[in-house]
Amino acid sequence: MSEQPSSPVLVTGGTGTLGRQVVRALRAHGAPVRVMSRRPREPDAVEDRIGPPAQWAVADLVEGTGIADAVRGVTAIVHCATTLGSADVRATQRLVRTARTSGGRPHLVHISIVGVDRVPMFYYRAKLAAERVVQDCGLPWTILRTTQFHDLVADMFAAQSRLPVMFTLAGGARLQPIDSGEVAERLAALALGEPSGRAAEMGGPLVHDLRELASMSRRARGSSRPVLPLRLPGAAVRAVRSGGLLAEDRAVGAVDHKTYLRRRYGS
Ligand SMILES: NC(=O)c1ccc[n+]([C@@H]2O[C@H](COP(=O)([O-])OP(=O)(O)OC[C@H]3O[C@@H](n4cnc5c(N)ncnc54)[C@H](OP(=O)(O)O)[C@@H]3O)[C@@H](O)[C@H]2O)c1
C-alpha cells in the first residue's frame, strides 16, 4: 500500500451498508475521509454507524447537485453509491465528468458484481454500463467485482417475515455470499494503492443453493414457516442456475453465511 494521502478519500454512498464500512476501514488506515450523502449530517445517527467522519459533502449524483464540492481536492473516490436502477449509469457519468474537471486526477475505485455480464437482469445491465463509464473515464481507475453480500441475502428473506411461507428459487439457483466488511477492507486497500484496472474478483467462502440459504435464514430467525421453492422462467433465472453469479475459483472470503447469521441474529 502507498503512503497515506493527506487529502481526503471521498466515499460516495458512505452511509450505506458497504460504504460505511469502507469509511471505517479507511480511517483505520489513518486516511482522511469525506462522506457523500444526499442528506445533511445527523451527528448522532451517523457517528453511531460510522464514527465521526472528517468531512461531509451533501450531494445528489442523480440530480447533479453538490458534486463539484464533494470531489474537490480528493485523492481517490470509492464509488459505493447506488440508486438500484438505470439512474446508476447517469450517477456514475455525473461523478466521472465532475471529477475529471475538478482540476485533480483522483483514483476512481468502483464496486461491481460478479456476473453482471452473464446474468441479464435490469440492475446488472446498469452495473455493467456503469463499469464501462469507469473504464472510459480518463482517470486512473480500479473495478472490484464481488459476489452478493451476506446482508443482501439475509435481507431478502427477512423482508418476507410477515408472509406465511418463505419463497425462494427452485432448480439449483446458487449464490456465494461474502462479508461486506471484508469487501470494504479490500476497497480501502485498493483506494490507498496504485490503480489496478480490473482487480481480482472476490467471492465468499461457500456456495449455497438458495433453498439451503432460505432454511439457514429460517433457523437463525427461530421461524418454523415452510420454505416454498418457486420455479421461475426467464433467461436471468437460467443464468443464475448455471452459476452465473459465482466466483468459485476466487472463494477468498473468510466469513461464511452461518457465521454471519449467528452474528446478526445472535443464535
Ligand atoms: N448488496 C450486494 O450484495 C452487493 C454485492 C456486490 C456489489 N454491490 C454494490 O455495492 C454498492 C453498495 O451497495 P450497498 O448494499 O452498500 O448499498 P446501500 O446500502 O443501498 O447504500 C446506497 C448508498 O447510495 C447512496 N445514494 C443513493 N442514491 C444516491 C444519489 N442519488 N446520490 C448520492 N448518493 C446516493 C445512499 O446515500 P444517502 O441515502 O445517504 O444519500 C447510500 O449510502 C452498490 O454499487 C452495489 O451494486 C452490492
pLDDT given for residue 20 in this prediction: 94
Q: How far apart are CA 14 and CA 12, in angstroms?
A: 5
- Ligand 1 atom at minimum distance from 81 CA: 24
Contact 40, 58 (CB under 8 A): yes
The pLDDT of residue 28 is: 93
Pairing of strands 166-169, 55-58: unpaired
Residue 154 lies in a domain: no
Residue 81 CA to ligand 1 centre (angstroms): 4
The pLDDT value recorded for residue 149 is 98
Write down the pLDDT at residue 161: 87
pLDDT of 25 reads 96
User: What's the mean pLDDT in 44-66?
Assistant: 79
Question: Residue 46 above 70 pLDDT?
Answer: no
* Structural domain count of the chain: 1
Task: Read off the pLDDT of residues 144-153 as tens digits, 9 standing for 90 and up.
Answer: 999 999 999 9
pLDDT value, residue 254? 98
Mean of all residue pLDDT scores within the chain: 93
Q: pLDDT over 70 for what percent of the chain?
A: 93
Instruction: Confirm whether 234 is domain-assigned.
Output: no
Q: Is the pLDDT of residue 80 over 80?
A: yes
pLDDT band at 72 (very low <50, low <70, confident <90, very high): very high
| Residues 94-102, mean pLDDT to the nearest whole number | 95
Rounded to the nearest angstrom, the distance between the alpha carbon of 199 and the centre of ligand 1 is 20
At residue 3, the pLDDT reads 54
Residue 78: per-residue pLDDT: 98
Does residue 103 have a pLDDT over 90? no
Q: Is the pLDDT of residue 1 over 60?
A: no
How many CB atoms are closer than 10 A to CB 21? 24
| Ligand 1 atom at minimal distance to the Cα of residue 79 | 45
> Sorting pLDDT into bands at 50, 70 and 90, what band is 18?
very high
- Residue 99: which H helix or E strand, with range? helix 87-100
User: Residue 23's pLDDT band (boundaries 50, 70, 90)?
Assistant: very high
Q: Determine the residue of 18, 145, 178 to mutate for testing ligand 1's pocket, defined as the one with the most ligand atoms within 8 A of the Cβ atom.
A: 18
Look at residue 81 and tell me if it is in a domain: yes
pLDDT of residue 73: 95
**Averaged pLDDT, 134-145:** 97
Q: What is the distance in A from the centroid of ligand 1 to the CA of 83? A: 7
The CATH number of residue 96's host domain is 3.40.50.720
In a domain, 122, yes or no: yes
Q: Return the pLDDT at 262.
A: 97
89 part of a folded domain:
yes
User: Pocket around ligand 1: residues whose beta carbon is below 6 Å from it?
Assistant: 12-13, 15-19, 36-39, 60-62, 80-83, 91, 111, 113, 127, 146, 148-149, 152
Measure 225 CA to ligand 1 centroid, in angstroms. 31
**227 and 218 in contact (C-beta within 8 Å)?**
yes
Here the cell at position 27 is: 480511517
Does residue 228 sit within a domain?
no
Give the closest residue (by CA) to ligand 1 atom 20: 16
Per the structure, the complete domain to which residue 75 belongs is given by 9-146+180-198
CA gap 204, 70 in Å, rounded = 33
Is 106 inside any structural domain? yes
Say if 243 falls within a structural domain: no
Q: What is the 59 CA–ligand 1 centroid distance (Å)?
A: 14
- Does the pLDDT value for residue 176 go beyond 80? yes
Q: How far is the CA of 224 from the centre of ligand 1 (A)?
A: 32
| Cα(75)–Cα(26) distance, integer angstroms | 13
State yes or no: pLDDT of 2 exceeds 60: no
